[in-house]
């Protein structure tokens, strides 16, 4: 059975399961190449099946030797035309690799916003995971959320606030540069985006875990954010996404009060720009990325999600190289925000045209390679395809 990449706009619709298996191994190999570090031992990752959440799980497991619980909403294979989601296979192959090394790797596949799943996770921690967790990572990325208390469903909107934004973007399906117009959000859309992508559910999870007495002394909890620079401020930091990220800052203060009795700590980690399924559909962001990646790759500072997360946990959260801003946020994004990097990125963006954006002028090829990797395509080391059938895939257990 052969799978090929099929796109709809900037969304990959197909998946290559054995490519994903190789990609998981590549990330594990990277972490092992950096050596062991002293870190957490019992980890809960909410949103664990791709990008930052998956990378966090890999670095804590194979770098620090942690047992992990992963929560995600994914679907397995149904037919040759519907092989499921990449995250489902990531969960499977991560668990297989972790268990080979004697690590616990429990996957919960379901709605992380629902009370039923939250209760299941708490029960598992108490009964089968040693009773306590010492790191809780919130990395959920979704476009909708149903509030378990009210039953109301909210839908996020990636829009500007108070102004129309016009600029170039890339259609990856057509490999074309086009002009995009981003309309300003309504107050209802702003509020809904904060409800979905802000810190409310993070705070709810921590309160639940605290009340269930499953948080260890000195527990740490992390949520991922992004601020960017003046080059993307109009559609990111000053838009609905930025408003949601500001809510995470507020909720971090609330959580720190909740964890004070344990000597615990909540951190907002302001991550750097990397290739994810989410970043591919943020308006104008691919243009910023192909310029930024070119500049940072030439400086030797460009990172994939696993490189970035391994540095965050190895060197910063559990190391001695942490850098904080005046709001107490951890700032591993400082390589991206280096003034010289930003100046070179801005100059390069001004040179990009519909005729040259795929040339060596930019890092378009790098973005495309990393984008395909997310669904198991164009993976390094996956030259000899392992023959699998639909029945083989259905027999896998997440």
DSSP state of 385: P
Alpha helix positions (H), 67-199: 86-100, 115-128, 187-197
Using left for φ > 0, alpha for ψ between -120 and 50, and beta otherwise, residue 266 falls in beta
pLDDT single digits (tens) 191-200: 999 999 999 9
DSSP state of 226: -
The per-residue pLDDT for 383 is 74
The span from the CA of 77 to the CA of 99, in Å, is: 22
Whether the predicted pLDDT of 386 surpasses 80: no
The per-residue pLDDT for 387 is 74
In 3D, which of 177, 42, 205, 246 has the Cα closest to residue 111? 205
pLDDT single digits (tens) 13-64: 999 999 999 999 999 999 999 999 999 999 999 999 999 999 999 999 999 9
Q: What is the CA radius of gyration of the chain?
A: 20
Q: Which of 52, 235, 236, 318 is catalytic?
A: 236
The span from the CA of 131 to the CA of 67, in Å, is: 12
CATH no. of 7-392: 3.40.50.720
The span from the CA of 240 to the CA of 254, in Å, is: 22
Query: Which SS3 state, helix, strand or coil, does residue 273 take?
Result: coil
The per-residue pLDDT for 388 is 86
The span from the CA of 203 to the CA of 152, in Å, is: 18
pTM: 0.96
pLDDT single digits (tens) 134-188: 999 999 988 999 988 889 999 999 999 999 999 999 999 999 999 999 999 999 9
Q: Is the dihedral of CA 319, 322, 327, 329 positive or negative?
A: negative
pLDDT single digits (tens) 85-108: 999 999 999 999 999 999 999 999
The per-residue pLDDT for 148 is 84
The residue whose two tokens read 């045209």 is 353
The per-residue pLDDT for 149 is 84
% residues pLDDT > 70 (the chain): 99
The per-residue pLDDT for 42 is 98
DSSP state of 302: -
Instruction: Tell me how far apart the terminal alpha carbons of the chain are, to the nearest angstrom.
Output: 21
The per-residue pLDDT for 385 is 61
Q: What is the mean pLDDT of the chain?
A: 96
Longest CA pairwise span in the chain (Å) = 60
C-beta separation of 94 from 74 below 8 A:
no
DSSP state of 383: -
Q: Which residues contact 136 (CB under 8 A, 6 or more apart)?
A: 43, 44, 46, 205, 206, 209, 215, 219, 220, 221, 222
Instruction: Map out the domains of the chain as residue ranges.
Output: 7-392
% residues pLDDT > 90 (the chain): 93
203 included as an active-site residue: no
- pLDDT band of residue 382 (cuts 50, 70, 90) is confident
pLDDT single digits (tens) 262-302: 999 999 999 999 999 999 999 999 999 999 999 999 999 99
**Alpha-carbon torsion angle 111, 113, 119, 123, nearest 10:** 70
Whether the predicted pLDDT of 69 surpasses 80: yes
β-bridge partners, 11: 8
């Amino acid at each position: 059975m052969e799978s090929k990449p099929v796109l709809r706009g900037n969304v990959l619709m197909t998946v290559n399961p054995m490519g994903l298996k190789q990609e998981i191994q590549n990330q594990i190999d990277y972490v092992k190449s950096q050596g062991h570090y002293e870190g957490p031992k019992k980890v809960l990752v909410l949103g664990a099946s791709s990008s930052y959440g998956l990378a966090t799980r890999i670095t804590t497991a194979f770098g620090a030797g942690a047992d992990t619980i992963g929560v995600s909403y994914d679907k397995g294979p149904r037919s040759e035309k519907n092989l499921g989601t990449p995250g489902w296979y990531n969960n499977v192959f991560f668990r297989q690799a972790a268990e080979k090394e004697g690590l616990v790797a429990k996957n919960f596949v379901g709605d992380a916003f629902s009370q039923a799943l939250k209760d299941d996770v708490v029960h598992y921690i108490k009964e089968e995971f040693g009773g306590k967790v010492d790191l809780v990572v919130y990395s959920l990325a979704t476009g909708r959320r149903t509030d378990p208390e009210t039953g109301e469903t909210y839908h996020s909107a990636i829009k500007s606030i108070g102004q129309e934004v016009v600029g170039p973007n890339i259609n990856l399906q057509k490999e074309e540069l086009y002009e995009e117009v981003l309309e300003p959000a309504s107050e209802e859309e702003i509020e809904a985006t904060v409800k979905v992508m802000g810190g409310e559910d993070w705070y709810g999870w921590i309160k639940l875990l605290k009340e269930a007495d499953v948080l260890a002394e000195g527990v740490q909890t992390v949520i991922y954010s992004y601020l960017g620079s003046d080059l993307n401020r109009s559609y990111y930091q000053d838009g609905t996404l930025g408003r949601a990220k500001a809510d995470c800052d507020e909720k971090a203060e609330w959580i720190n009060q909740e964890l004070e009795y344990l000597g615990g700590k909540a951190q907002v980690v302001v991550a750097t720009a990397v290739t994810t399924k989410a970043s591919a559909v943020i308006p104008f962001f691919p243009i910023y990325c192909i310029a930024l990646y070119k500049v940072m790759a030439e400086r030797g500072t460009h990172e994939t999600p696993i490189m970035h997360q391994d540095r965050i946990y190895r060197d910063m959260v559990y190391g001695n190289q942490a850098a904080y801003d005046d709001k107490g946020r951890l700032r591993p994004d400082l390589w991206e925000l280096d003034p010289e990097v930003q100046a070179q990125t801005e100059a390069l963006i001004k040179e990009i045209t519909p005729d040259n954006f795929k040339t060596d002028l930019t890092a378009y090829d790098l973005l495309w390679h990393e984008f395909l990797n997310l669904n198991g395509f164009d993976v390094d080391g996956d030259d000899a395809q392992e023959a699998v059938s639909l029945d083989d895939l259905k027999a896998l257990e997440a």
